Amino acid sequence: METASTTAGRREWVGLAVLVLPVLLISITVTVLYFALPFLSADLKPSGSELLWIVDIYAFWLAGLLLVMGTLGDRIGRRRLLLLGAAVFGITSAAAAYAPSAEMLIVLRALQGAAAATLMPSTLALIRNMFHQPRQRRLAIAIWAAGFSGGSVLGPIVGGWMLERFWWGSVFLINVPIMVLLLVLGPILLPEYRDPRAGRLDLWSTALSLVAVLPIVYGVKDIAEQGVTPTAALAMAVGLAAGASFIWRQRTLADPMLDLRLFAERAFGISLITSTLAIFALMGLFYFIAQYLQLVLGLRPFVAGILTLPAAGMALVGSMLAVVVVRWVRPGFVIGGGMFVAGLGFAVLSQLEGEPGVQTLVIGLGLLGLGLGAVQAVASDLVIAVAPPERAGSASAVLEAGTEFGAALGVAVLGSLGLAIYRWTFEVPADLPGEAAQTARETLGGAVEVAAQLSGSAQGALLQAARTAFTEGMRVAALSGTAILVATAILATVQLRRVSLEEKSPDEAMRDQRSST
Protein backbone atom coordinates (compact mmCIF):
# COMPACT_ATOMS: atom_id res chain seq x y z
CA MET A 1 0.00 0.00 0.00
CA GLU A 2 1.23 3.51 -0.80
CA THR A 3 1.93 5.69 2.24
CA ALA A 4 3.01 9.24 2.82
CA SER A 5 6.44 8.01 3.81
CA THR A 6 6.97 6.23 0.50
CA THR A 7 5.29 8.78 -1.75
CA ALA A 8 7.66 11.20 -3.46
CA GLY A 9 6.78 14.82 -2.89
CA ARG A 10 7.58 18.18 -4.40
CA ARG A 11 11.21 18.16 -3.25
CA GLU A 12 11.89 14.82 -4.94
CA TRP A 13 10.37 15.90 -8.25
CA VAL A 14 12.31 19.17 -8.26
CA GLY A 15 15.42 17.15 -7.38
CA LEU A 16 14.70 14.93 -10.38
CA ALA A 17 14.99 17.98 -12.62
CA VAL A 18 18.47 18.54 -11.20
CA LEU A 19 19.41 14.91 -11.85
CA VAL A 20 18.36 15.25 -15.48
CA LEU A 21 21.00 17.95 -16.01
CA PRO A 22 23.98 15.54 -16.29
CA VAL A 23 21.96 13.28 -18.59
CA LEU A 24 21.09 16.27 -20.74
CA LEU A 25 24.76 17.20 -20.77
CA ILE A 26 25.96 13.78 -21.94
CA SER A 27 23.49 13.77 -24.83
CA ILE A 28 24.37 17.34 -25.84
CA THR A 29 28.09 16.50 -25.74
CA VAL A 30 27.71 13.55 -28.10
CA THR A 31 25.36 15.09 -30.67
CA VAL A 32 27.15 18.45 -30.75
CA LEU A 33 30.48 16.74 -31.34
CA TYR A 34 29.11 14.89 -34.36
CA PHE A 35 28.03 18.16 -35.94
CA ALA A 36 31.38 19.74 -35.09
CA LEU A 37 33.37 17.00 -36.86
CA PRO A 38 33.54 18.75 -40.29
CA PHE A 39 34.84 21.97 -38.67
CA LEU A 40 37.18 20.10 -36.39
CA SER A 41 38.54 18.13 -39.37
CA ALA A 42 39.26 21.31 -41.30
CA ASP A 43 41.10 22.93 -38.37
CA LEU A 44 43.01 20.09 -36.65
CA LYS A 45 43.31 17.86 -39.74
CA PRO A 46 43.01 14.50 -37.92
CA SER A 47 43.51 11.21 -39.75
CA GLY A 48 40.55 8.86 -40.17
CA SER A 49 41.70 6.86 -37.17
CA GLU A 50 42.22 9.99 -35.03
CA LEU A 51 38.75 11.24 -35.95
CA LEU A 52 37.22 7.99 -34.68
CA TRP A 53 39.33 8.17 -31.51
CA ILE A 54 38.11 11.72 -30.81
CA VAL A 55 34.59 10.32 -30.75
CA ASP A 56 35.41 6.95 -29.15
CA ILE A 57 37.94 7.66 -26.39
CA TYR A 58 35.40 9.52 -24.27
CA ALA A 59 32.98 6.59 -24.22
CA PHE A 60 35.77 4.01 -23.74
CA TRP A 61 37.05 5.65 -20.55
CA LEU A 62 33.51 6.32 -19.41
CA ALA A 63 32.63 2.64 -19.85
CA GLY A 64 35.86 1.48 -18.24
CA LEU A 65 35.40 3.55 -15.07
CA LEU A 66 31.62 3.39 -14.59
CA LEU A 67 31.63 0.26 -12.46
CA VAL A 68 34.39 1.65 -10.25
CA MET A 69 32.60 4.98 -9.83
CA GLY A 70 29.23 3.38 -9.20
CA THR A 71 30.68 1.32 -6.37
CA LEU A 72 32.66 4.30 -5.06
CA GLY A 73 29.47 6.35 -4.90
CA ASP A 74 27.83 3.66 -2.77
CA ARG A 75 30.72 4.04 -0.33
CA ILE A 76 31.59 7.74 -0.16
CA GLY A 77 28.16 9.17 -1.02
CA ARG A 78 26.38 9.42 -4.36
CA ARG A 79 25.72 13.15 -4.18
CA ARG A 80 29.32 13.86 -3.20
CA LEU A 81 30.63 11.87 -6.17
CA LEU A 82 28.12 13.53 -8.52
CA LEU A 83 29.24 17.03 -7.54
CA LEU A 84 32.92 16.13 -7.71
CA GLY A 85 32.44 14.75 -11.21
CA ALA A 86 30.52 17.86 -12.26
CA ALA A 87 33.41 20.11 -11.26
CA VAL A 88 36.02 18.04 -13.09
CA PHE A 89 33.83 17.68 -16.18
CA GLY A 90 33.36 21.43 -16.41
CA ILE A 91 37.13 22.04 -16.19
CA THR A 92 38.02 19.41 -18.83
CA SER A 93 35.30 20.73 -21.15
CA ALA A 94 36.75 24.22 -20.99
CA ALA A 95 40.22 22.82 -21.74
CA ALA A 96 38.94 20.75 -24.70
CA ALA A 97 37.48 23.87 -26.28
CA TYR A 98 41.01 25.22 -26.81
CA ALA A 99 42.80 21.98 -27.76
CA PRO A 100 45.63 22.89 -30.20
CA SER A 101 45.89 19.49 -31.90
CA ALA A 102 44.01 16.28 -32.57
CA GLU A 103 46.30 14.40 -30.16
CA MET A 104 45.63 16.84 -27.33
CA LEU A 105 41.89 16.73 -27.98
CA ILE A 106 41.98 12.93 -27.71
CA VAL A 107 43.74 13.21 -24.32
CA LEU A 108 41.23 15.77 -23.05
CA ARG A 109 38.31 13.68 -24.29
CA ALA A 110 39.69 10.76 -22.29
CA LEU A 111 39.78 12.94 -19.17
CA GLN A 112 36.25 14.06 -19.92
CA GLY A 113 35.18 10.43 -20.06
CA ALA A 114 36.80 9.71 -16.70
CA ALA A 115 34.94 12.65 -15.14
CA ALA A 116 31.65 11.68 -16.79
CA ALA A 117 31.92 8.22 -15.23
CA THR A 118 31.14 9.83 -11.87
CA LEU A 119 27.93 11.44 -13.14
CA MET A 120 25.72 8.76 -14.66
CA PRO A 121 25.62 6.02 -11.96
CA SER A 122 24.93 8.60 -9.26
CA THR A 123 21.91 10.09 -11.07
CA LEU A 124 20.09 6.81 -11.62
CA ALA A 125 21.01 5.45 -8.17
CA LEU A 126 19.68 8.59 -6.47
CA ILE A 127 16.40 8.19 -8.37
CA ARG A 128 16.17 4.70 -6.85
CA ASN A 129 16.60 6.24 -3.39
CA MET A 130 14.19 9.15 -3.96
CA PHE A 131 11.28 7.29 -5.59
CA HIS A 132 10.17 4.15 -3.76
CA GLN A 133 6.77 3.52 -5.36
CA PRO A 134 7.09 1.44 -8.56
CA ARG A 135 4.86 3.73 -10.64
CA GLN A 136 6.55 6.91 -9.47
CA ARG A 137 9.98 5.34 -9.97
CA ARG A 138 9.00 4.21 -13.47
CA LEU A 139 7.84 7.70 -14.43
CA ALA A 140 10.97 9.26 -12.92
CA ILE A 141 13.22 6.90 -14.88
CA ALA A 142 11.26 7.62 -18.06
CA ILE A 143 11.85 11.35 -17.51
CA TRP A 144 15.51 10.60 -16.81
CA ALA A 145 15.74 8.60 -20.06
CA ALA A 146 13.93 11.37 -21.92
CA GLY A 147 16.73 13.69 -20.84
CA PHE A 148 18.86 12.04 -23.51
CA SER A 149 16.23 13.04 -26.05
CA GLY A 150 16.11 16.56 -24.70
CA GLY A 151 19.84 16.81 -25.19
CA SER A 152 19.45 15.49 -28.71
CA VAL A 153 17.01 18.32 -29.39
CA LEU A 154 19.10 21.06 -27.82
CA GLY A 155 22.50 19.79 -28.94
CA PRO A 156 22.13 20.06 -32.72
CA ILE A 157 20.14 23.30 -32.57
CA VAL A 158 22.30 25.17 -30.06
CA GLY A 159 25.46 23.58 -31.46
CA GLY A 160 24.47 24.40 -35.04
CA TRP A 161 23.79 28.00 -34.10
CA MET A 162 27.16 28.25 -32.34
CA LEU A 163 29.09 26.55 -35.14
CA GLU A 164 27.78 29.09 -37.61
CA ARG A 165 29.03 31.96 -35.43
CA PHE A 166 32.01 30.65 -33.46
CA TRP A 167 34.83 28.12 -33.72
CA TRP A 168 34.32 24.37 -33.18
CA GLY A 169 35.66 24.53 -29.61
CA SER A 170 32.66 26.58 -28.53
CA VAL A 171 30.50 23.43 -28.49
CA PHE A 172 32.48 22.15 -25.49
CA LEU A 173 31.81 25.37 -23.59
CA ILE A 174 28.08 24.51 -23.55
CA ASN A 175 28.92 22.05 -20.77
CA VAL A 176 30.30 24.65 -18.39
CA PRO A 177 27.11 26.57 -17.40
CA ILE A 178 25.19 23.27 -17.04
CA MET A 179 27.81 21.97 -14.63
CA VAL A 180 27.80 25.23 -12.67
CA LEU A 181 24.01 24.98 -12.33
CA LEU A 182 24.33 21.41 -11.05
CA LEU A 183 26.98 22.43 -8.52
CA VAL A 184 24.74 25.21 -7.18
CA LEU A 185 21.44 23.29 -7.00
CA GLY A 186 22.73 19.81 -6.14
CA PRO A 187 23.62 20.44 -2.46
CA ILE A 188 20.25 22.15 -1.92
CA LEU A 189 17.85 19.70 -3.58
CA LEU A 190 19.52 16.30 -3.68
CA PRO A 191 19.70 13.92 -0.71
CA GLU A 192 22.95 12.22 0.20
CA TYR A 193 23.06 8.45 0.29
CA ARG A 194 25.80 6.00 1.06
CA ASP A 195 25.65 2.36 2.01
CA PRO A 196 26.22 2.29 5.81
CA ARG A 197 27.40 -1.31 5.58
CA ALA A 198 29.72 -0.83 2.64
CA GLY A 199 33.19 -2.26 3.01
CA ARG A 200 36.43 -0.86 1.64
CA LEU A 201 36.87 -0.42 -2.09
CA ASP A 202 38.87 -3.39 -3.36
CA LEU A 203 41.81 -1.99 -5.33
CA TRP A 204 42.51 -5.28 -7.10
CA SER A 205 38.93 -5.38 -8.39
CA THR A 206 39.30 -1.78 -9.55
CA ALA A 207 42.46 -2.58 -11.50
CA LEU A 208 41.02 -5.79 -12.97
CA SER A 209 37.86 -4.02 -14.16
CA LEU A 210 39.94 -1.47 -16.06
CA VAL A 211 42.30 -4.07 -17.52
CA ALA A 212 39.27 -6.08 -18.61
CA VAL A 213 37.35 -3.29 -20.35
CA LEU A 214 39.98 -1.11 -22.03
CA PRO A 215 41.98 -3.81 -23.92
CA ILE A 216 38.77 -5.47 -25.14
CA VAL A 217 37.31 -2.30 -26.61
CA TYR A 218 40.70 -1.46 -28.12
CA GLY A 219 40.92 -4.93 -29.67
CA VAL A 220 37.40 -4.75 -31.11
CA LYS A 221 38.12 -1.31 -32.55
CA ASP A 222 41.41 -2.46 -34.08
CA ILE A 223 39.79 -5.57 -35.62
CA ALA A 224 36.99 -3.43 -37.05
CA GLU A 225 39.55 -1.12 -38.69
CA GLN A 226 42.33 -3.51 -39.80
CA GLY A 227 41.06 -7.05 -39.37
CA VAL A 228 42.56 -9.57 -36.97
CA THR A 229 46.11 -8.50 -36.10
CA PRO A 230 48.54 -9.84 -33.45
CA THR A 231 48.14 -6.63 -31.45
CA ALA A 232 44.34 -6.86 -31.46
CA ALA A 233 44.40 -10.56 -30.57
CA LEU A 234 46.79 -9.91 -27.67
CA ALA A 235 44.66 -7.04 -26.37
CA MET A 236 41.52 -9.18 -26.50
CA ALA A 237 43.27 -12.05 -24.72
CA VAL A 238 44.52 -9.76 -21.95
CA GLY A 239 41.09 -8.22 -21.51
CA LEU A 240 39.27 -11.57 -21.40
CA ALA A 241 41.78 -12.98 -18.90
CA ALA A 242 41.37 -9.93 -16.67
CA GLY A 243 37.59 -10.19 -16.98
CA ALA A 244 37.65 -13.83 -15.89
CA SER A 245 39.88 -12.92 -12.94
CA PHE A 246 37.56 -10.07 -12.01
CA ILE A 247 34.51 -12.36 -11.96
CA TRP A 248 36.36 -15.00 -9.92
CA ARG A 249 37.45 -12.38 -7.39
CA GLN A 250 33.90 -11.03 -7.02
CA ARG A 251 32.75 -14.53 -6.07
CA THR A 252 35.31 -14.70 -3.25
CA LEU A 253 34.80 -11.24 -1.71
CA ALA A 254 32.42 -10.67 1.18
CA ASP A 255 31.65 -7.19 -0.21
CA PRO A 256 32.20 -7.39 -3.99
CA MET A 257 32.38 -4.46 -6.37
CA LEU A 258 29.84 -6.20 -8.60
CA ASP A 259 27.10 -8.30 -7.00
CA LEU A 260 26.92 -11.22 -9.44
CA ARG A 261 23.58 -12.27 -7.94
CA LEU A 262 22.01 -9.45 -9.95
CA PHE A 263 22.64 -11.47 -13.13
CA ALA A 264 20.59 -14.35 -11.75
CA GLU A 265 17.57 -12.16 -12.49
CA ARG A 266 16.72 -12.63 -16.17
CA ALA A 267 15.20 -9.15 -16.40
CA PHE A 268 18.56 -7.64 -15.43
CA GLY A 269 20.70 -9.47 -17.98
CA ILE A 270 18.33 -9.22 -20.96
CA SER A 271 17.55 -5.56 -20.28
CA LEU A 272 21.28 -4.86 -20.11
CA ILE A 273 21.89 -6.60 -23.47
CA THR A 274 18.95 -4.81 -25.08
CA SER A 275 20.01 -1.37 -23.91
CA THR A 276 23.60 -1.94 -25.00
CA LEU A 277 22.71 -3.09 -28.52
CA ALA A 278 20.15 -0.31 -28.97
CA ILE A 279 22.77 2.36 -28.26
CA PHE A 280 25.34 0.44 -30.33
CA ALA A 281 23.15 0.79 -33.41
CA LEU A 282 22.01 4.35 -32.69
CA MET A 283 25.43 5.92 -32.11
CA GLY A 284 26.95 3.98 -34.98
CA LEU A 285 24.42 5.44 -37.38
CA PHE A 286 24.42 8.99 -36.01
CA TYR A 287 28.16 9.15 -36.65
CA PHE A 288 27.18 9.11 -40.33
CA ILE A 289 23.95 11.14 -40.22
CA ALA A 290 25.59 14.35 -39.00
CA GLN A 291 28.26 14.20 -41.71
CA TYR A 292 25.71 13.15 -44.34
CA LEU A 293 23.54 16.21 -43.70
CA GLN A 294 26.45 18.66 -43.82
CA LEU A 295 29.04 17.18 -46.18
CA VAL A 296 26.82 15.23 -48.59
CA LEU A 297 23.69 17.39 -48.70
CA GLY A 298 25.64 20.59 -47.97
CA LEU A 299 23.28 21.85 -45.26
CA ARG A 300 24.21 24.48 -42.70
CA PRO A 301 24.79 23.08 -39.17
CA PHE A 302 21.67 24.76 -37.79
CA VAL A 303 19.46 23.35 -40.56
CA ALA A 304 21.07 19.93 -40.14
CA GLY A 305 20.29 20.11 -36.42
CA ILE A 306 16.65 20.94 -37.11
CA LEU A 307 16.35 17.82 -39.29
CA THR A 308 17.37 15.58 -36.38
CA LEU A 309 14.41 16.78 -34.30
CA PRO A 310 12.11 13.88 -35.34
CA ALA A 311 14.40 11.36 -33.59
CA ALA A 312 14.63 13.38 -30.39
CA GLY A 313 10.98 14.40 -30.30
CA MET A 314 9.68 10.89 -30.95
CA ALA A 315 12.07 9.47 -28.34
CA LEU A 316 10.34 11.71 -25.79
CA VAL A 317 6.99 10.38 -26.97
CA GLY A 318 8.23 6.78 -26.89
CA SER A 319 9.59 6.97 -23.35
CA MET A 320 6.41 8.54 -21.94
CA LEU A 321 4.12 6.24 -23.92
CA ALA A 322 6.00 3.19 -22.66
CA VAL A 323 5.29 4.19 -19.04
CA VAL A 324 1.56 4.03 -19.77
CA VAL A 325 1.53 0.94 -22.00
CA VAL A 326 3.64 -1.16 -19.60
CA ARG A 327 0.80 -1.01 -17.04
CA TRP A 328 -1.21 -3.40 -19.25
CA VAL A 329 1.42 -5.00 -21.50
CA ARG A 330 4.34 -7.07 -20.18
CA PRO A 331 7.66 -5.24 -20.48
CA GLY A 332 9.18 -7.89 -22.76
CA PHE A 333 6.63 -7.09 -25.44
CA VAL A 334 7.12 -3.34 -25.01
CA ILE A 335 10.91 -3.67 -25.33
CA GLY A 336 10.64 -6.11 -28.24
CA GLY A 337 8.12 -3.90 -30.03
CA GLY A 338 10.30 -0.83 -29.50
CA MET A 339 13.36 -2.58 -30.93
CA PHE A 340 11.37 -3.72 -33.96
CA VAL A 341 10.07 -0.17 -34.62
CA ALA A 342 13.62 1.18 -34.31
CA GLY A 343 14.84 -1.51 -36.71
CA LEU A 344 12.18 -0.40 -39.18
CA GLY A 345 13.52 3.14 -38.86
CA PHE A 346 17.02 1.90 -39.70
CA ALA A 347 15.65 0.10 -42.76
CA VAL A 348 14.04 3.33 -43.95
CA LEU A 349 17.28 5.27 -43.43
CA SER A 350 19.20 2.69 -45.46
CA GLN A 351 17.33 4.04 -48.49
CA LEU A 352 18.94 7.49 -48.28
CA GLU A 353 20.93 8.51 -51.33
CA GLY A 354 23.16 11.36 -52.36
CA GLU A 355 20.18 13.52 -53.30
CA PRO A 356 18.08 15.22 -50.60
CA GLY A 357 15.39 12.87 -49.33
CA VAL A 358 13.93 14.83 -46.43
CA GLN A 359 10.77 12.74 -46.20
CA THR A 360 12.77 9.51 -45.95
CA LEU A 361 15.05 11.05 -43.33
CA VAL A 362 12.18 12.37 -41.18
CA ILE A 363 10.24 9.08 -41.26
CA GLY A 364 13.33 7.00 -40.52
CA LEU A 365 14.53 9.17 -37.63
CA GLY A 366 11.00 9.37 -36.21
CA LEU A 367 10.60 5.59 -36.10
CA LEU A 368 14.10 5.21 -34.69
CA GLY A 369 13.44 7.68 -31.87
CA LEU A 370 10.00 6.29 -31.02
CA GLY A 371 11.28 2.73 -30.67
CA LEU A 372 14.47 3.43 -28.76
CA GLY A 373 12.76 5.89 -26.40
CA ALA A 374 10.40 3.12 -25.28
CA VAL A 375 13.23 0.60 -24.98
CA GLN A 376 15.47 2.79 -22.82
CA ALA A 377 12.68 3.77 -20.42
CA VAL A 378 11.49 0.21 -19.73
CA ALA A 379 14.90 -1.48 -19.81
CA SER A 380 16.36 1.05 -17.35
CA ASP A 381 13.48 0.54 -14.96
CA LEU A 382 13.85 -3.25 -15.09
CA VAL A 383 17.55 -3.03 -14.24
CA ILE A 384 16.98 -0.72 -11.26
CA ALA A 385 13.90 -2.62 -10.03
CA VAL A 386 15.83 -5.80 -9.24
CA ALA A 387 18.59 -4.02 -7.29
CA PRO A 388 18.33 -3.38 -3.54
CA PRO A 389 18.80 0.28 -2.51
CA GLU A 390 22.34 -0.28 -1.19
CA ARG A 391 23.40 -1.77 -4.55
CA ALA A 392 21.60 0.74 -6.77
CA GLY A 393 24.88 2.53 -7.54
CA SER A 394 26.65 -0.55 -8.85
CA ALA A 395 23.52 -1.71 -10.74
CA SER A 396 23.21 1.72 -12.36
CA ALA A 397 26.90 1.61 -13.20
CA VAL A 398 26.51 -1.75 -14.96
CA LEU A 399 23.61 -0.35 -17.02
CA GLU A 400 25.51 2.81 -17.92
CA ALA A 401 28.70 0.87 -18.65
CA GLY A 402 26.77 -1.27 -21.09
CA THR A 403 25.23 1.83 -22.66
CA GLU A 404 28.56 3.63 -23.08
CA PHE A 405 30.29 0.44 -24.14
CA GLY A 406 27.62 0.04 -26.81
CA ALA A 407 27.98 3.66 -27.92
CA ALA A 408 31.74 3.39 -28.24
CA LEU A 409 31.59 0.08 -30.08
CA GLY A 410 28.81 1.37 -32.32
CA VAL A 411 31.00 4.20 -33.56
CA ALA A 412 34.06 1.94 -33.71
CA VAL A 413 32.47 -1.03 -35.48
CA LEU A 414 29.80 0.59 -37.66
CA GLY A 415 31.96 3.68 -38.16
CA SER A 416 34.94 1.56 -39.20
CA LEU A 417 32.71 -0.58 -41.43
CA GLY A 418 31.38 2.51 -43.17
CA LEU A 419 34.89 3.94 -43.47
CA ALA A 420 36.10 0.69 -45.04
CA ILE A 421 33.21 0.78 -47.55
CA TYR A 422 34.05 4.41 -48.30
CA ARG A 423 37.67 3.56 -49.07
CA TRP A 424 36.82 0.47 -51.11
CA THR A 425 34.19 2.17 -53.28
CA PHE A 426 35.82 5.60 -53.62
CA GLU A 427 36.93 6.05 -57.21
CA VAL A 428 39.74 8.62 -57.13
CA PRO A 429 39.74 10.90 -60.18
CA ALA A 430 42.70 10.01 -62.42
CA ASP A 431 44.12 13.55 -62.55
CA LEU A 432 44.29 14.00 -58.77
CA PRO A 433 47.88 14.20 -57.36
CA GLY A 434 49.04 11.33 -55.13
CA GLU A 435 49.11 13.18 -51.79
CA ALA A 436 45.76 14.85 -52.43
CA ALA A 437 44.27 11.49 -53.48
CA GLN A 438 45.46 9.90 -50.22
CA THR A 439 43.90 12.70 -48.16
CA ALA A 440 40.62 12.41 -50.06
CA ARG A 441 40.54 8.65 -49.61
CA GLU A 442 41.10 8.93 -45.82
CA THR A 443 37.78 10.61 -44.88
CA LEU A 444 34.89 12.48 -46.47
CA GLY A 445 36.04 15.60 -44.61
CA GLY A 446 39.46 15.21 -46.22
CA ALA A 447 37.88 14.89 -49.67
CA VAL A 448 35.85 18.06 -49.13
CA GLU A 449 39.00 19.89 -48.02
CA VAL A 450 40.90 18.76 -51.14
CA ALA A 451 37.95 19.68 -53.36
CA ALA A 452 37.97 23.21 -51.95
CA GLN A 453 41.41 23.68 -53.54
CA LEU A 454 40.15 22.59 -56.98
CA SER A 455 37.78 24.23 -59.41
CA GLY A 456 35.41 23.41 -62.21
CA SER A 457 34.80 19.82 -63.30
CA ALA A 458 37.70 18.45 -61.20
CA GLN A 459 36.08 19.72 -58.01
CA GLY A 460 32.65 18.37 -59.00
CA ALA A 461 34.03 14.94 -59.93
CA LEU A 462 35.89 14.55 -56.65
CA LEU A 463 32.91 15.62 -54.52
CA GLN A 464 30.56 13.33 -56.41
CA ALA A 465 32.85 10.32 -56.00
CA ALA A 466 33.45 10.98 -52.29
CA ARG A 467 29.77 11.59 -51.47
CA THR A 468 28.65 8.48 -53.34
CA ALA A 469 31.19 6.33 -51.50
CA PHE A 470 30.26 7.82 -48.11
CA THR A 471 26.54 7.29 -48.70
CA GLU A 472 27.16 3.66 -49.61
CA GLY A 473 29.08 3.17 -46.37
CA MET A 474 26.23 4.74 -44.42
CA ARG A 475 23.69 2.45 -46.14
CA VAL A 476 25.68 -0.65 -45.17
CA ALA A 477 25.89 0.58 -41.56
CA ALA A 478 22.11 1.20 -41.49
CA LEU A 479 21.35 -2.28 -42.82
CA SER A 480 23.68 -3.79 -40.22
CA GLY A 481 21.85 -1.85 -37.52
CA THR A 482 18.52 -3.14 -38.85
CA ALA A 483 19.64 -6.75 -38.49
CA ILE A 484 20.97 -6.16 -34.96
CA LEU A 485 17.79 -4.47 -33.72
CA VAL A 486 15.39 -7.02 -35.19
CA ALA A 487 17.40 -9.91 -33.71
CA THR A 488 17.41 -8.17 -30.32
CA ALA A 489 13.66 -7.57 -30.56
CA ILE A 490 13.10 -11.31 -30.90
CA LEU A 491 15.48 -12.07 -28.01
CA ALA A 492 13.80 -9.59 -25.64
CA THR A 493 10.28 -10.72 -26.51
CA VAL A 494 11.03 -14.40 -25.98
CA GLN A 495 13.19 -14.08 -22.86
CA LEU A 496 11.06 -11.49 -21.04
CA ARG A 497 7.62 -12.64 -22.09
CA ARG A 498 6.74 -13.80 -18.54
CA VAL A 499 8.34 -10.93 -16.61
CA SER A 500 5.88 -8.54 -14.96
CA LEU A 501 6.72 -5.25 -13.29
CA GLU A 502 3.77 -5.53 -10.94
CA GLU A 503 4.43 -9.00 -9.56
CA LYS A 504 6.69 -7.94 -6.67
CA SER A 505 8.24 -4.85 -5.24
CA PRO A 506 11.99 -4.50 -5.88
CA ASP A 507 12.86 -5.28 -2.26
CA GLU A 508 10.67 -8.39 -2.26
CA ALA A 509 12.25 -9.64 -5.46
CA MET A 510 15.76 -9.20 -4.07
CA ARG A 511 14.85 -10.86 -0.77
CA ASP A 512 13.50 -13.86 -2.67
CA GLN A 513 16.63 -13.95 -4.80
CA ARG A 514 18.88 -13.86 -1.70
CA SER A 515 16.92 -16.60 0.04
CA SER A 516 17.17 -18.82 -3.02
CA THR A 517 20.97 -18.46 -3.05
Identify which has the larger pLDDT, 339 or 308: 339
- List of residues 6+ apart from 287 with CB closer than 8 A: 34, 55, 410, 411, 414, 415, 418
pLDDT confidence of residue 196? 63
Identify which has the larger pLDDT, 516 or 242: 242
- In this model, does residue 18 exceed pLDDT 80? yes
Q: Does pTM surpass 0.85?
A: no
> Quick one: pLDDT band at residue 283, thresholds 50, 70, 90?
confident
The string of DSSP letters for 87-124 reads HHHHHHHHHHTT--SHHHHHHHHHHHHHHHTTTHHHHH
**Residues 204-218: pLDDT tens digits?**
887 888 788 778 777
> Quick one: pLDDT band at residue 249, thresholds 50, 70, 90?
confident
- Range in 360-374, 446-460, 500-514 with the lowest mean pLDDT: 500-514
d(CA 376, CA 315): 9
**Residues 297-330: pLDDT tens digits?**
888 777 877 787 787 778 888 888 888 888 888 8
pLDDT confidence of residue 41? 78
Q: Give the mean pLDDT of the chain.
A: 78
pLDDT confidence of residue 1? 39
pLDDT confidence of residue 2? 43
- List of residues 6+ apart from 9 with CB closer than 8 A: none
